[in-house]
Chain A
Amino acid sequence: MTRMPYYPGCTLKTKAQNYDLSTRAVFRELGIDLVELPRWNCCGAVFSLVTDDLLRQVAPITNLIRVQELQGTDSVDDPRLVVPCAMCFNVLKRANARMKDNPEDLKKINDFLYLESQPYRGEVQIIHTLELLKEISAKRIKEQVKFPLLGLKVSPYYGCNLLRPKDVAIDNPENPTLLEDFTQALGAEVVFNNRRLRCCGSYQTVSEKGLVADLVYDIIMGAARAGADLIITACPLCSFNLDWRQKEAMEAHSDHKLIPVIYYTELMALALGIGNGFGGEHFVDPQPLLQKFLEKEKGGI
C-alpha cells in the first residue's frame, strides 16, 4: 500500500459522500491508501480572481500547510496531495500556482498565519484522482476488472474545472481523453458527446434554475443523441446540476430524455467488483440500469 495525503473537501463529506466512499474504495483496491489530511478546512469553493484580496487565498494555503505537516510525519509514502473534487482541485491548484508566482504574497500570508506550526514553503504538489489513475495506467486497471462493463454506453463529461484555465488542466483542455481511456479500460463503450466540455451552469443553479436547466438539457441531449446509457463526472456540482436539473429540463422540453449521472469512481467500483452501494441521492435513479447490468454479468451472458 502506498499512502498519500487526501483532501476530500466539504461536499464529499456532506452531499457527495458516495464520491468520497467510492474514491477511497477503488484506490485501496489499486494499492493506494488515501490518508485524510488532519484539520483540513474548506478550500473556499471558488478561486478568487481579486488580486488585492489575499485573505481569499488563506483557506487553500492553510490546507497546503496541513499537507506539509503530514509529510513531516511517517504516515505518508508519496507526498503529493490527492484531490477528487474538481472544484477543490481547481482552487487548491490555482492558489498554489499563485503563491509560486508571487513570493511576496506568500510571505504576507505566512506572516498572517503566525499561529501555524510552519510557514508554507510553496512546494506541495497537487494531483487529481484522474491523473493518479492515469499514472497507475489503463493497463493495470484493465487487469483488475472483474466485471467488464461490456455493452454499457458511457458518456464522459468534463465540465470546466478540470480543464480550465489551461495551466491547471489535467489533460488537453480542447481534446481531453483521460475519462475516455479510463472508461475503455473498464470494458465499457465510450460514446462521444460533443457537449462534454460545456459549462453545466455551476453555482447559477441556486438563483437561475431555468438557465441551468437549459444548459443541462443541451448537454444531456448531446449524450442522448450519441446513444448514452449513463453519464460519468468528476465533480459534485456538475453531478448535481446534470442530475437534478433534468427535472426542470424535462418540464420545459417535452423531448428531454432522462439519463442517469454517476461518478467515474462508482462506475469503476462496479467493474472492479467492489460494490454498487455507495448511496447518494439521485433525481434519475441509476440503479435500475446498474442492477440490470450486474445481473447480466453474474448470470454470465
Chain B
Amino acid sequence: MTQDLIPIYIYSRKYYVPEGSTIITALEYLGFKLKKGVGCKEGFCGACASLYRLKGDYKLKGGLGCQTVVQPEMQIVQIPFVPAPKAVYKIEELQPDPEIFVRYYPELYRCLSCNTCTKICPQELQVMDFVQAAVRGDFEQVANLSFDCIMCGLCSARCPAEITQFNVAMLARRIYGKYLMKKSTFLEQRLKEIESGKYEEGYRELMSLSQEELKNRYFQREIDFQIT
C-alpha cells in the first residue's frame, strides 16, 4: 500500500509526511526524538500544544499535536511549555472570596477582553468568559467554563495582558470544589463502606487472580453505578 506524502513545514523546514498524520505522528515519522511535548497521545494531558498556520490563512491557530491532522503546506511549531507564575497556597486556609484573585493573580484585572485566548484554545473553551467570571468573583462560572482545560498554556502565551488563565482557573476550581460545590452524598457513603471493610474480600479475590483472568473481568465488568 502506498500512502500519499504531503509537504509540511516544521520549524520552517520543509518535510514530506504521510497524509492523515497528526502533528505528533508526523514528527515521529520524520525521526524527531520527542522527549518533551508529548504525553498521553489521547488529547488529555495537554503536553503537545502546537501553533500552526494553514496555507492562505492569516490566522494563527492552536492545536494539540496528537489530535491535529496535518494539511498540505501547514507551518508547525510545538510549544511544549509556557513559563507561568503559579501561586502556592494551602487550600484549607483560603476562603471563597473574590479577593483571592487580587492576592495571587493580580494581573487578572489587566484583561482587555480581547478574546485572543478563546481564539487559540485547542479545547475550544470560552477562555475570556471564564477570565471575566473570575474578575467578578463568580467561582462557579469559572469552574464550569474551564472544566475541560488541559493546561496546555497556549492562551497564556498569546495573552496581551500576560495573564495565566489556566492557573487562575485551577485556583477557582479548587475553591469551588472545596467550599461551594454541592457535596456528593454518594462519595461519602462509598468512603464509609470502604472504611467498614465491605470490599476487603473482593480486593483479596482480585489480588489472587492471574493477569488473564483480570483482563477478562475488566472487559466483562458491568458499569452500573450512578454518578450523582
A184 interfacial by beta-carbon distance below 8 Å: no
Shortest CB-to-CB span from A40 to chain B, Å, is: 8
Name A116's closest neighbour in chain B (CB-CB).
B115
B98 interfacial by beta-carbon distance below 8 Å: yes
- Report Cα–Cα, A59/B114, bound state, in Å: 7
Name B161's closest neighbour in chain A (CB-CB).
A55
- Report Cα–Cα, A103/B126, bound state, in Å: 28
- CB <8 Å contact, A58 and B138: no
Name B131's closest neighbour in chain A (CB-CB).
A41
B window 77-118: CB within 8 A of A: 98, 111-115, 118
- CB <8 Å contact, A14 and B112: no
**Residues in chain A near residue B119, CB distance under 8 A:** 115
A227 interfacial by beta-carbon distance below 8 Å: no
- Report Cα–Cα, A59/B113, bound state, in Å: 5
Shortest CB-to-CB span from A19 to chain B, Å, is: 14
* In the complex, number of A-B residue pairs with CB atoms less than 8 Å apart: 43
- Report Cα–Cα, A132/B126, bound state, in Å: 33
- CB <8 Å contact, B136 and A55: no
A56 interfacial by beta-carbon distance below 8 Å: yes
A10 interfacial by beta-carbon distance below 8 Å: yes
Given A39-B129, A41-B128, A55-B160, do A13 and B115 touch, yes or no (CB 8 Å)? no
**Residues in chain B near residue A14, CB distance under 8 A:** 98, 136-137
- Report Cα–Cα, A13/B113, bound state, in Å: 17
Name A113's closest neighbour in chain B (CB-CB).
B115
Given A41-B128, A41-B132, A42-B132, do A55 and B112 touch, yes or no (CB 8 Å)? yes
Shortest CB-to-CB span from B74 to chain A, Å, is: 20
Shortest CB-to-CB span from B221 to chain A, Å, is: 42
B135 interfacial by beta-carbon distance below 8 Å: yes
- CB <8 Å contact, A115 and B132: no
- Report Cα–Cα, A143/B134, bound state, in Å: 42
- CB <8 Å contact, B112 and A59: yes
Name A13's closest neighbour in chain B (CB-CB).
B136
**Residues in chain A near residue B136, CB distance under 8 A:** 10, 13-14, 42
- Report Cα–Cα, A34/B112, bound state, in Å: 26
**Residues in chain A near residue B113, CB distance under 8 A:** 41-42, 44, 58-59, 62
**Residues in chain B near residue A112, CB distance under 8 A:** 114
Chain A: number of interface residues, binned into ranges? 10 to 19
- Report Cα–Cα, A122/B186, bound state, in Å: 52
- Report Cα–Cα, A105/B129, bound state, in Å: 24
- Report Cα–Cα, A55/B160, bound state, in Å: 10
> Which of B114, B132, B138 contacts A55 (CB under 8 A)?
B114
**Residues in chain A near residue B111, CB distance under 8 A:** 41-42
A19-48 CB mask vs B (1 if < 8 Å, else 0) is 000000000000000000001111010000
- Report Cα–Cα, A185/B132, bound state, in Å: 38
**Residues in chain A near residue B138, CB distance under 8 A:** 13
**Residues in chain A near residue B118, CB distance under 8 A:** 115
A window 130-155: CB within 8 A of B: none
> Which of A13, A41, A55, A115 contacts B137 (CB under 8 A)?
A13
Shortest CB-to-CB span from A33 to chain B, Å, is: 21
Shortest CB-to-CB span from B160 to chain A, Å, is: 7
Name A112's closest neighbour in chain B (CB-CB).
B114
**Residues in chain B near residue A59, CB distance under 8 A:** 112-114
Shortest CB-to-CB span from B153 to chain A, Å, is: 20
A102-115 CB mask vs B (1 if < 8 Å, else 0) is 00000000001101
Name B114's closest neighbour in chain A (CB-CB).
A58
Name B128's closest neighbour in chain A (CB-CB).
A41
Given A14-B98, A39-B129, do A58 and B112 touch, yes or no (CB 8 Å)? yes
- Report Cα–Cα, A14/B98, bound state, in Å: 8
> Which of B112, B115, B160 contacts A115 (CB under 8 A)?
B115
**Residues in chain B near residue A62, CB distance under 8 A:** 113, 115
**Residues in chain B near residue A113, CB distance under 8 A:** 115
Name B126's closest neighbour in chain A (CB-CB).
A39
- Report Cα–Cα, A40/B111, bound state, in Å: 13
- Report Cα–Cα, A277/B171, bound state, in Å: 32
B window 126-182: CB within 8 A of A: 126, 128-129, 132, 135-138, 160
Name A59's closest neighbour in chain B (CB-CB).
B113
Shortest CB-to-CB span from A100 to chain B, Å, is: 20
26 A-B pairs with C-beta separation under 8 A: A10-B136, A13-B136, A13-B138, A14-B98, A39-B129, A40-B132, A41-B111, A41-B128, A41-B135, A42-B111, A42-B113, A42-B136, A44-B112, A44-B113, A55-B112, A55-B160, A56-B112, A58-B114, A59-B112, A59-B113, A59-B114, A62-B113, A62-B115, A112-B114, A115-B115, A115-B119
* Top 10 A-B residue pairs of the complex, sorted by shortest distance between their CB atoms: A59-B113, A41-B113, A13-B136, A41-B132, A10-B136, A58-B114, A14-B137, A42-B135, A62-B113, A14-B98
Residues of B with Cβ closer than 8 Å to A?
A: 98, 111-115, 118-119, 126, 128-129, 132, 135-138, 160
